[in-house]
Structure 1
Amino acid sequence: MRLSVVVPVFDEEDVLPLFAGRLRPVLDALGVDYEVITVDDGSRDATPMVLELIRREWPELRVIRLRRNSGHQNALTAGLHRSRGQYVVSLDVDLQDPPEVIAEMLRLAETSGLDVVYGVRADRSTDTAFKRWTAGLYYRLVRRVVGSPVPRHAGDFRMLSRTAVDALTELPEHLPVYRLLVPWLGLPSGEVTYVRERRAAGRSKYPIARMVRLAVDSITGFSAAPLRVATWLGCAGIALCVALAGAGIALHLWGTVVPGWTSLLVAMVFLGALQLLCLGLLGEYVARVFTQLQGRPPYVVSSDSLSRPYATTGR
């Protein structure tokens, strides 16, 4: 099989018919064997029924259902692990990343011998100002802290060769962040730019809480810098306490009495907050080690339509 398209799905009953109607003509026009793997990440609405209805008319559509909501990155992992194509595209269902770019990605990968082709958002004017600001902050932060060549404004819309997919599958990651893992591989890569569109229907499944969680997973999963920050904060706190102690002794020798307990209270609160911050940073890493030692799978598959295809006469 030449091409696999992996699509994580969670509560997307409204946008799925629009997505299928736009993606299928693009893939049919490529003239290659393909499969579209939709990974239902424990949807609570009519998404499973909509997928089954679409699959009856589109035999290349494959539906993998997870038993519970495991998160976008783990749903993407399930699709990548079960893909069969020589090239694998990961694509969100909201149509903000245009499926028409897939043809250009495949052409670039084949002609240039690339293992990775990133979809880079050249124009994000359809996003809110807050979304653009937080996205820019995220990429500046991870590029500085992680240190890997992370393409700016490249999300999870990308094409991977079978070599890249196999390399990712072999990594023992329980909390994967593919926008950092893929560049970390260091494989030959290229970029295709596009204009980001508005969501076709439904609501975003990436609220601020999930964006913060993604940032935390990105940093703690790829760098020990936060632990070093905690160390430097501790050193700075000790230096500040020594300075305050020296100032107190000097004032006492000069006969100056410092009235009130404000300075003492501020110092205590500052040091207490510093300790809690350091413990919180340490806890993030301990939690990752704990999760790794548990050895539980990041997702559990409930069903895979590949084992029960509909009888069809072709495309």
Structure 2
Amino acid sequence: MNNRTDPILYIVIPCYNEQEVLPITAPMFLQKINDLAAAGKISPDSRVLFVNDGSKDRTWEIICDLAARDPHYAGICQSRNRGHQNAVLAGLMEAKSRCDITISIDCDGQDDINAMDAMVDAYRDGCDVVYGVRSKRETDTFFKRFTAESFYKILNAMGAEVVFNHADYRLMSARVLEEFARFREVNLFLRGMVPLVGFKSTCVTYERHERIAGESHYPLSKMLALAFDGITSLSIKPIRFITGFGVFVALVSFIGVLWAVIEAALGLTVSGWASMTSIICFVSGVQLICLGVIGEYIGKIYLESKHRPRYIISDATPNFGEIKEDAQ
């Protein structure tokens, strides 16, 4: 498929314990599908695809009920919770052979669904990737705004190519998804991997709202873990930083040794434990930090070498069709 004038759109929505918000936002997504189809921008065969990421509440039951009531809803269920990035990937990979374009978005209602109109227009004008970018962060606290913006700046500084203030709200064409399927990483950081695929891209700005219902599943700890995964999965700059810092410490240590020898030769040395203890603690701390960073990379190599499936689908709504396990 590669239809620019009447594309089949699949809105891919990862869901984890979203029983409170799903009944509110699901009709919103369906209405957007209907509005775009009525405007002649997408095919009436477009769908809303929910990906249940091993939810422990009634999320999957709600998805099945939605699919039974309207054929524009469909759902797939992962065999266990694999995390947000794997859930998005599962939806994209299962949708790529069924549609011309996908738009991934969270189900909490924070991302403005009306930005999809501009995304589809950009696709019809020739873009294969359209990034949804937040225009401002006035609804965030100072701490949230500071940490979020620092998150993107640090990622770019460390070599992970990301679009500033863009999360996982994006349009991707079927041919981009086909090429993206060749990226076999187990450690996923989609907002840094998608730009690596290339193809013509653009950005659409929008205002982000408060979560409609329920609680956020992305606290600061998960954001920090995601940032660290992004850096170590897409860049070797931390390793190079360690090398440079090691050279610097070695030079300083060499100067210190020369100073100690000269002081001893002149008979000016005074026995003391404070300076020696400080130097030992400093060097030991540096060594442990360096080993930790190197160990993180070794751990990722270990996980990648296993070639485990990045997602396993245990169930699907009857109207979705055949499901294939991602075991390549």
Find the counterpart in structure 2 of residue 17 from structure 1. Answer: 23
Find the counterpart in structure 1 of residue 187 from structure 2. Answer: 175
Shift of 1:59: 1.8
Of 60, 66, 70 in structure 1, the residue corresponding to residue 72 of structure 2 is: 60
Find the counterpart in structure 1 of residue 137 from structure 2. Answer: 124
Shift of 1:308: 7.1
Of 157, 180, 184 in structure 2, the residue corresponding to residue 144 of structure 1 is: 157
Instruction: Report the Cα distance in structure 2 between the residues aligned to 1:19 and 1:277, rounded to whole angstroms.
Output: 44
Q: Kindly indicate whether the alpha-carbon contact (under 8 Å) linking 2:160 and 2:230 is maintained by their aligned counterparts in 1.
A: no
Instruction: Report the Cα distance in structure 1 between the residues aligned to 2:310 and 2:189, rounded to whole angstroms.
Output: 13
Of stretches 88-97 and 134-143 in structure 1, the one that deviates more from structure 2 is 134-143
Find the counterpart in structure 2 of residue 8 from structure 1. Answer: 14
Of 214, 231, 248 in structure 2, the residue corresponding to residue 219 of structure 1 is: 231
Instruction: Report the Cα distance in structure 1 between the residues aligned to 2:201 and 2:320, rounded to whole angstroms.
Output: 36
Aligned positions, number: 307
Instruction: Give runs of aligned pairs for residues 210-249 of structure 1, distance below 5 A.
Output: 210-249=222-261
Q: Kindly indicate whether the alpha-carbon contact (under 8 Å) linking 2:186 and 2:304 is maintained by their aligned counterparts in 1.
A: yes
Instruction: Report the Cα distance in structure 1 between the residues aligned to 2:184 and 2:66, rounded to whole angstroms.
Output: 34
Residue deviations 1:217-240, cap 9 Å, x none? 111111111111111121122112
Q: CA RMSD in A?
A: 1.6
Of 57, 67, 73 in structure 2, the residue corresponding to residue 45 of structure 1 is: 57
Find the counterpart in structure 1 of residue 299 from structure 2. Answer: 287
What SS is found at the alignment partner of 2:300? helix
Superposition TM-score, scaled by structure 1 size: 0.93
Find the counterpart in structure 1 of residue 121 from structure 2. Answer: 107
Residue deviations 1:7-58, cap 9 Å, x none? 1111111100111121111111111221111111111122122222222222
Structure 1 gap ranges (5+): 310-315
Of 95, 98, 107 in structure 2, the residue corresponding to residue 93 of structure 1 is: 107
**What letter matches 2:33 in structure 1?**
L
Residue deviations 1:123-172, cap 9 Å, x none? 22112222211111111112222163x32111100000111111111111
**What letter matches 1:274 in structure 2?**
V
**What letter matches 2:114 in structure 1?**
E
**What letter matches 1:12 in structure 2?**
E
With over 3 angstroms needed to count, the CA separation of the structure-2 counterparts of 1:306 and 1:81, relative to structure 1, is: farther
Instruction: Report the Cα distance in structure 1 between the residues aligned to 2:141 and 2:73, rounded to whole angstroms.
Output: 33
Instruction: Report the Cα distance in structure 1 between the residues aligned to 2:148 and 2:290, rounded to whole angstroms.
Output: 26
Structure 2 gap ranges (5+): 1-6, 38-42, 322-328
1:188 corresponds to 2:200: yes
Q: Kindly indicate whether the alpha-carbon contact (under 8 Å) linking 1:230 and 1:277 is maintained by their aligned counterparts in 2.
A: no
Shift of 1:253: 2.5
**What letter matches 1:250 in structure 2?**
I
**What letter matches 2:286 in structure 1?**
L
Of 135, 142, 165 in structure 1, the residue corresponding to residue 148 of structure 2 is: 135
Q: Kindly indicate whether the alpha-carbon contact (under 8 Å) linking 1:74 and 1:175 is maintained by their aligned counterparts in 2.
A: no
**What letter matches 2:218 in structure 1?**
Y
Shift of 1:306: 4.1
What SS is found at the alignment partner of 1:170? coil
Superposition TM-score, scaled by structure 2 size: 0.89
Instruction: Report the Cα distance in structure 1 between the residues aligned to 2:294 and 2:122, rounded to whole angstroms.
Output: 43
**What letter matches 1:266 in structure 2?**
S
Stretches of 4+ aligned residues off by more than 3 angstroms: 306-309
Q: Kindly indicate whether the alpha-carbon contact (under 8 Å) linking 2:119 and 2:204 is maintained by their aligned counterparts in 1.
A: yes
